[in-house]
Structure 1
């Protein structure tokens, strides 16, 4: 390929000529770049506007809620004792709070096991049922045996007894159950243990046995005398010279015990009498645990008396000594020690159990079953089964650190998942196929507060107990609500505190100032983007833009209008709380005027900013609204109330219903169309005999204990009506509320429900403002296309037909939030404009590329033309040179 250098042959500067021609041809490129830069500047400006509007919308988010303007502040005097929060329904005031007990969960522990993986029992299939409920009556502690025989004469030496590592003050004067109980109770604040003496009762065979008296006729004919005293009270006496049978006999003793003087004297000594000497059943008792000394005082020659018939009586004395039981004040174990705990009727060690208590399952708490067999009959297997059950009890294994041969360090620990007295556990075990439960599993897990307690309680289920302004209140958790309307107290520690509830005017003021500040920042950005500078004769990137002007006018129009639809308030515009427009288009706030509004209309200020709904019927509540909901006052008409799905039995339950072993029922709760697998589960019912109330509790807790139901928020209630019929009812309302039950094995469901049938729930139905509305459970929502579109109300109560009217208003923050949303987002006006501008830039880029392609062709054409010219001229120059040479040569010749 040859080398070309245009112009060399002709002398024409082809490159310069073409370059200058192309400069003229490419002049329109600058217009493309100018347009593109203008569009991109607008895109950037809209980006700034979008950012400013987004910030403005973000500042409005908290202002669209009523609670942002009606908050109250709760201040405890002692924050270590309690904390508190108050909502808009609370009343300002001062309250005295005394917390005496903090709620806790029950904890049970097993005995020690060497291994967590070794088999427990022989693997017989055993169903273990966990129920949660309340213990009533009785005490938790240790029941002592009879005090040491020497106590009545020698007392208890110092250091004989310690409780929870505290020495009980005993000495030689501690000679009765009552005195020992007094010594223990004197240390109760330190030990957490109190004592309760049992009644002291004389020996059952002191005056006879098997219905025969052993009290012989007293004979003083030999010159002696006789007297019988009980607890220092002389019951009967016989002077000398009285032959046997003519004086004091068993029958005469019974007569003496009925005399008013003796009766009064015994009552003064707190001694009661039961039985008779005549039939050998006479016994004396003292309810306060004091000793009872029964003494025969004899002088001279006497025969007969206690255990004596016809033989000499030289006098006798016997002292009945009582026993005591220890009561743990908080249900925790009691540690017993000392140099002679046996003298006080106790064995050294740590323990405690419910004594004389009863247990009632709580129908509101879940219950559940686990099955233990040869596949999981280890400590670890039992733990896994319990935790997988998810029915309100958690399990763990704790090692006590013991080592060496025979050490059993591993303990199964069971803890109720919730606090409160209704979280006490009862654990029952049942076998399968007619076989009893595995005895080793019973020894490990059997626990009934009213019966055998093979697990040790380490912490008792307890409620939070407090007084508020002197009124006693309890709560199953550390949270106390309802004691003070609108206030929730969190108990942190035992102690006293005052609580001050006051209007949070500072938060309201902050919110109002935040609103003004957010608007002014947005207004500044809008002004900057659309302004014209007369000095520089330049405008902002969005000068004259319709979208910007529309946004600006829309914001100002909404802020200038009055709020409509507000019910029961005189506040309808911003100027009433001190907010007004300035000449430069900004907002200013008169804080004095705002404070006055706070003082006089605190609860109504929220209506100026948030969406507010208020009805004349207190059973109809505002839930939410939509962007298309129009402010106004709407009449309400309810044609159908929401109902719950039920399974109603049609036979009265007998006094007792027996549930056989291996009874399982399949329950479907709140199912959908088409059916959802998670809405059906099989429950196992523990074998036993139940009265109607117990049966209802069992069914309710068993169904509610299904983890799949609990995870979906599906629960039931079980009640027995006045007619004795059992009803299961879904707690959900509406067409999605239903319950169905079929027998899988064991006792048939008809034994409980007869031929009763299931009825599905219904949604609420009616109109809002005369417009159709859609029901979903108890919620009624205005239909699309109507002014009430998106207005959602909760309808309760039992009245049909006209239910009054409902006023709905949209405060300024709510309206502006909706306006901002219409400009932002994927379908917003700003996004639309930005998309259009970007598309214009793309079109310009395409046009510029096409023009550049054409310029390339034009340049090529110019170069071709001038190259041809260059070649022609070069050729002519060459010819001219040749001719010149030839003419010169001819001239010489």
Structure 2
């Protein structure tokens, strides 16, 4: 390829000429760059706008909830006793609270087993039912036997008895059940155990038995005297020289004890009551407080007849003392430890124990009930634990080892704990065999537990409620938390004790929220103003000077803040100036804290409506749930054409006094099923065999169905009630078209035996209009349909009235409106993103135009170079010819 040096032959500077020509031709490139830079500057400015507006939205989004402006403060005097939280429903006040007991769950433990894998019983199929409920009546403790014979004369030596590790103060004067009970009760604060003495009753054979009198008529004709005393009260006396039958006899004793006699009055004063009669040998004396009753015959000289002696039989005198027994009562249902050097003298056995005495058990229909089946595949401690825990019906099982070792050691104990606290969490465990067979006796020995009957498991911790007083009013709770005792306040108890609780308005937090709103607006206003500002001194403008998007945003914000709110029923606050927020000349907001505090003092509960979305109805059974950005503020008439209902299975047959459920009875239950059907909404339940009264049957069905884990996980439960007509009704607790319950037979007792020919009726959704606009029902929830001002307004409709239900006012507070406004500008589909997309497209178009123009410049430059290269060549040729001619002419001249 040849070398090219334009201009050498002609002397013309082609490169310079072309370069200058191209400089002129490429001048428009700068315009492209300038225009692109302008667009990119706007893109950057919109990025700043988006960032600033996003920060503003973050600041005001937390102010769109009414709870932000209605918080209440709680201040316990002693935070080691309780803590508390309060909602906007709380009332400022001071309360005195005494916590006497913290809720606990029941814990039961078995005896020891050598291993966790050894078979228990024969492996015969046994169904074990767990029910949770409440124990009423009776006590929890130990019942002693009659006090030691020597106690009535020698008392109980010091150190003879300890209760829960505390020595009971006894000595030679402790000679009766009453005195022993008094000694135990003196230490009840330390031991947590009280004592009750049983009534002292004299022997049933003291005066005879079987109708044969053994009290012979007293004969003192030989010169003797006779006296009979009971509890220190002389009830009969005979002087010397009285023949038998003429003085003291069974008949005379009965006469002395009957009616308002001096003897009867004296015995009453001594707290002694009389039953039976001496004449038929049934006379007995009772002291209800457990004091000893001494019955003595004092004889002098030659006397015949009397106690145990027929007429004519010599009486040498007698003395007998009736003593009683005591029972120990645990204050909190915990086991009682008995020890000391001579607990037997107190009628007690050394060791740890306790059981419910004289109690009854009532199953709680709101608690789940469940069955497990134990057979040869799982009849070990480990297998039983796994089966119970898999059942997930409110009882947790574990194995605890006491660490004992060596030959004959049985360290492993089955421990059962109710999953929830409260008195309604007490367990009742019943066992039933299969096919009419009895349950495995070894399993009964291990697990059988009935607070009203046999208790083969030992209670280690009783199910208990939290007990407290609030300003002297008794309150209870099944958990450590107490709610409802003080409106809007939830108390979490930590330990027993007395303290105060002060509830007050959180005006500081409200002021902070209002201040943060003002600051958020001012920060946004400053940033937006700078983006569209013009500097007259430098004659330069902000990157969005005159931009319509910026102007529209600023105008919308100011328009929202300057307008009064509508839809705020029952309040006088409709604009920000009423709480001290106002515009300044530069467009910023200022806050008058003094004016705000006055509004807090006068209208604390209404300030939230200025910022958040709130709804209030004239009908208290219609509640605001939520709204959307499309929901318009206003007052809307509520008209209900149909109330939501629940799915029901209604029996038609009056239940008999007792209904028998056969062994191996199973029913298939479908609860709150959907379309298409969901297999998790159907389950098979097992009903424990037994005989149930109507109330017990309702409780059984409710707890058993609610004990199905698939149902409870889905929030599906039922209630079972017996109506005034004696029929049984099962009701789904859900409302609407998704509420239904159906039961079919599987095995054992037929469903018709309980419900007769009763059928199931599915629930329906609420129906009606909001403000005359259509609405969609879902259960008890009514939601405004799209397209109207009530779009997205969601209300719950309770109560039992159809037709007009008053009006419902909905208001969009300033923070709520601005948060929604910001949302229209932000995000991938927002106005800013759309504007930025357009600008970036313009930049891309300019780049394409610039590339196309640059391509044209290459062609132009080539054209110029081609032209000037041709000219250069022509001139060079002409210069060569001129040089040749010059040489020729010169030569010719010389010639």
Q: CA deviation at 1:688?
A: 0.9
1:403 and 1:856 map into 2 onto residues whose CA distance is 100
Partner residue in 1 for 2:287: 286
Alignment of 1:568-587 (within 5 A): 568-587=570-589
1:871 and 1:211 map into 2 onto residues whose CA distance is 164
SS of residue paired to 2:190: helix
Q: CA deviation at 1:865?
A: 6.8
Q: CA deviation at 1:703?
A: 1.0
Contact residue 7 and residue 14 of structure 2 kept, 8 A: no
1:171 and 1:876 map into 2 onto residues whose CA distance is 153
Partner residue in 2 for 1:158: 158
Partner residue in 2 for 1:603: 605
Partner residue in 1 for 2:493: 491
Partner residue in 2 for 1:465: 467
Alignment of 1:115-514 (within 5 A): 115-259=115-259, 260-309=261-310, 310-514=312-516
2:524 and 2:548 map into 1 onto residues whose CA distance is 17
Contact residue 6 and residue 14 of structure 1 kept, 8 A: no
1:538 and 1:434 map into 2 onto residues whose CA distance is 100
2:592 and 2:344 map into 1 onto residues whose CA distance is 82
Alignment of 1:609-758 (within 5 A): 609-758=611-760
2:13 and 2:111 map into 1 onto residues whose CA distance is 110
Cα separation, partners in 2 of 1:249 and 1:819, compared to 1, 3 Å: same
SS of residue paired to 1:444: helix
State the aligned residue count: 892
Q: CA deviation at 1:122?
A: 2.3
2:434 and 2:873 map into 1 onto residues whose CA distance is 114
SS of residue paired to 2:615: strand
1:149 and 1:892 map into 2 onto residues whose CA distance is 179
Provide Cα deviations, 1:612-671, integer angstroms capped at 9, x if missing partner.
222222222222222122211222211111111111000110001111111111111111
Cα separation, partners in 2 of 1:845 and 1:122, compared to 1, 3 Å: farther
Structure 2 gap segments, 5+ residues each: none
SS of residue paired to 1:575: helix
TM-score, normalised relative to structure 2: 0.95
Cα separation, partners in 2 of 1:431 and 1:25, compared to 1, 3 Å: farther
SS of residue paired to 2:62: helix
Cα separation, partners in 2 of 1:231 and 1:832, compared to 1, 3 Å: same
Q: CA deviation at 1:736?
A: 1.3
The equivalent position to 2:518 in structure 1, one of 491, 495, 516, is 516
Q: CA deviation at 1:675?
A: 0.9
Decide which moves more: 261-270 or 557-566.
261-270
Partner residue in 2 for 1:778: 780
SS of residue paired to 2:156: coil
1:35 and 1:447 map into 2 onto residues whose CA distance is 89
Cα separation, partners in 2 of 1:742 and 1:863, compared to 1, 3 Å: farther
Contact residue 250 and residue 278 of structure 1 kept, 8 A: yes
SS of residue paired to 2:146: coil
Cα separation, partners in 2 of 1:570 and 1:308, compared to 1, 3 Å: same
SS of residue paired to 2:843: helix
Contact residue 108 and residue 459 of structure 1 kept, 8 A: yes
SS of residue paired to 2:182: helix
1:144 and 1:36 map into 2 onto residues whose CA distance is 101
2:28 and 2:381 map into 1 onto residues whose CA distance is 88
Cα separation, partners in 2 of 1:620 and 1:877, compared to 1, 3 Å: same
Provide Cα deviations, 1:810-854, integer angstroms capped at 9, x if missing partner.
211111111111111222111211222222233333334444455
Cα separation, partners in 2 of 1:248 and 1:882, compared to 1, 3 Å: farther
Contact residue 195 and residue 327 of structure 2 kept, 8 A: yes
Contact residue 194 and residue 331 of structure 2 kept, 8 A: yes
Contact residue 435 and residue 664 of structure 2 kept, 8 A: yes
Provide Cα deviations, 1:468-490, integer angstroms capped at 9, x if missing partner.
11111111112222222222222
2:884 and 2:412 map into 1 onto residues whose CA distance is 122
2:841 and 2:274 map into 1 onto residues whose CA distance is 109
Partner residue in 2 for 1:547: 549
Q: CA deviation at 1:65?
A: 1.7
1:383 and 1:504 map into 2 onto residues whose CA distance is 50
Contact residue 131 and residue 425 of structure 1 kept, 8 A: yes
Cα separation, partners in 2 of 1:272 and 1:570, compared to 1, 3 Å: same
Provide Cα deviations, 1:723-763, integer angstroms capped at 9, x if missing partner.
10110101111111111111111111111100001111121
SS of residue paired to 1:803: strand
2:876 and 2:216 map into 1 onto residues whose CA distance is 171
SS of residue paired to 1:482: strand
Q: CA deviation at 1:889?
A: 11
Cα separation, partners in 2 of 1:311 and 1:49, compared to 1, 3 Å: same
Contact residue 256 and residue 264 of structure 2 kept, 8 A: no
Q: CA deviation at 1:26?
A: 4.2
Q: CA deviation at 1:267?
A: 1.4
Structure 1 gap segments, 5+ residues each: none
Contact residue 529 and residue 540 of structure 1 kept, 8 A: yes
1:71 and 1:535 map into 2 onto residues whose CA distance is 50
Cα separation, partners in 2 of 1:865 and 1:165, compared to 1, 3 Å: farther
Q: CA deviation at 1:312?
A: 2.5
2:293 and 2:746 map into 1 onto residues whose CA distance is 63
Q: CA deviation at 1:888?
A: 11
